[in-house]
Structure formats: C-alpha cells, structure tokens
Chains A and B, each alone.
Chain A
C-alpha cells in the first residue's frame, strides 16, 4: 500500500520570491531566517524520498470564482501549468510547468467519494501561488509529480474547521489504501493571521500575535478539538480577512494520523507571522 511519509505545512507568501531571487549574500537577515526554516523542511522532504506530492492550497480567485465555487477540488492531469497573469504582474513569480500523477489523482478522487468526501475535480487546472510558492521553497526542482487539491478559504460560506480536519483524515485513509508501494508526501500551504485588502494589511507589526501563538500551539500539541471549536469564519476573519487560510493546516493535521508533529513555528516578521510545520514518522 502507499505510504504517507511526511507532511509539510508552510507559508505561500508570494512576496518571498522577489526576496530570494538574488544572490544569498544580498538577503536581509529576516529573509535569511525564513529561508533557514524553508531549507530545513526542504532537506527533510528530500530525506522522506517521496514519489508523489499531494499539494494542498487555497485558490485565490484564479481557477475559480463565485460563479462556480467548489469547497474542495482535486486536479487530475499529467501536466500542470502554474502562475497567473496578475501573479507575474504583482509578485514577479515565474511561470511553471509541473508533472502530475493522473492515476494517483484518480485513486484519491474515487477513494474519497467512497468514504464521503465528494471532491469536485478538474481536468484543466492551472495552479496559483498557493501551491507554486511552497514548491519553490521545498522542492524547487519541481521534478516530482503532484496531485493538487484547491480549497475554498476565501469566498464565504466556506466549509467548517471540522470539515477541513475531517477531509484530511479521509484523505489519509484513502492514501493508505492506494495499491502499490508509492511514497507520498503532502505539502500544504496556508497562513496564520493575515489581512490582504483589509484595513491592517502590510502593517509593520504582525496582524494578531495572540491568535498566531495559539494557532501554532494547537498544531504542535495536536489540539485539534480546541482549534475546531475556535476557528469559526467569524472568529478567523476578526484576525484578518484571509485568516481562514489557516484551515488548510487543520486539513494537514487531520491527515497526520500516526505522524508526529516534529516542527511547529510561527516565525515573526514584519507584516505577518510565517508558519512552518512538519509531521513525520
């Protein structure tokens, strides 16, 4: 059977690319700190020797708009293109092409349907910075086939925290039943408290330090019950209009099963606290 060898939870801050797309000697201390964490996760991912990456991120009104807004959508293609026009315009992100694993996509889709998660699916999915930025950080070679899942954390009403966690649990059960001996790793992106387009965006101090500390604590202690109770849409958006992006990490926690949370940090920096999580055997 397939085996989930590692889960990474990481920022998808699109501004990072411009900070690191220059010789390392020119990085600010802040950037250096962030990239030390990222490099550490990159090493651990390499050691986990995955054959395929399950990549989870929230679409930012790129693939989807409110005319057709799936709660969770799985991409099913042999090749995925990444990065949209406005992400090149605003963040200078590079256009990417990544291999997919259509067979594993199909197996996860079918297995999930049988277990009560009716993923929407897409045979023509273009992915945005929520999946590309994490890969630029932890697998810049972009050589491993991916199975992307896009979540809705931006257009209310969105699924509950409990559902995010449950979808993670079911994904794990489905992965554990995939025939063969593939090694799967998951790269899940999201954020802590964050305002983008809200009145406190780009504030020099972190958005809501108290929330960030509690949220990192829930993940590191595996206290998903408290997280689920507290992470209502109303509560999350009090700490920034896109803070519901944290829910992706509850999906990751649901997927963990027997994996232990081996790293959990909210790295404080100007503007927003950057999440770095790992679950390993």
Chain B
C-alpha cells in the first residue's frame, strides 16, 4: 500500500490545470502515464523509487472511485479538492454534488489518513 503515493497523485493533479484536464478526459490512461513518468519524480532532475501503487489503488484512481480511496485513507481534504472539479460537470449544482459525495463517504467514518 502506498497511501503517500495516492496522496501525491491527488496533490499533483488537483494543483495543475493540464494534469487535471488530462485526468478528467481519460482517467485510466492518465493514471498509467502518470505512474510511468511522474510518480517517482522528486524534483525536475531526481527520482525516488520507494513508493508504488497497489493494484487496488491504481484501479481506484483509474475508476475515479473516491469512495474506495477515502476508505483506504487517502487524505480527505486533498481527495475532495480534486474530486470537486472532476465530478462537478455531472451535477446540476454544488449542493447536489456535496450530498452525493458525503453520502458515499459517510459509512467509512473517519479513516486514519496519516502517511
């Protein structure tokens, strides 16, 4: 399990307009490309190799399965900030989106999200 790498994915994508658009357009394709080219990047020139997605994590990201990601302990604040623009086009308004999102994560309570 790499909760850290899941959080890193969310953090990088939410804070970068191009990545966010690419993820929204093709979640599975983008996750595969990100894992290959970006996951190990420490900075512009150096890489690390200590973190890898599990199959479950990769699948949840590729399927935008925020419920699973939340249950696995992805950082709740980060996850919401990324899922908001991802899900927005599918809901008539903010309230409807929030109600849907909250109802999905509620059964899991407050999972440990430390890294």
Contact = CB atoms under 8 A, between A and B. Distances in A.
A199 B77 contact: no
Contacts of A65: 7-8, 11
Nearest to B3: A66
A229 interface: no
Interface in B1-34: 4, 7-8, 11, 14-17
A241 B110 contact: yes
B110 A197 contact: no
Most chain B CB neighbours (cut-off 10 Å) among A61, A157, A200:
A61
Interface range for B = 20 to 34
Interface in A185-219: 196-203
Interface string A64-78: 011100000000000
B77 A202 contact: no
A221 interface: no
A70 to B, nearest CB: 15
Contact of B115 (A84, A155, A196, A198): A155
Interface of A: 60-62, 65-67, 84-86, 89-90, 154-157, 196-203, 237-238, 241-242
The 9 closest A-B pairs by CB, nearest first: A197-B80, A197-B76, A199-B106, A197-B77, A156-B114, A202-B98, A241-B76, A199-B105, A198-B76
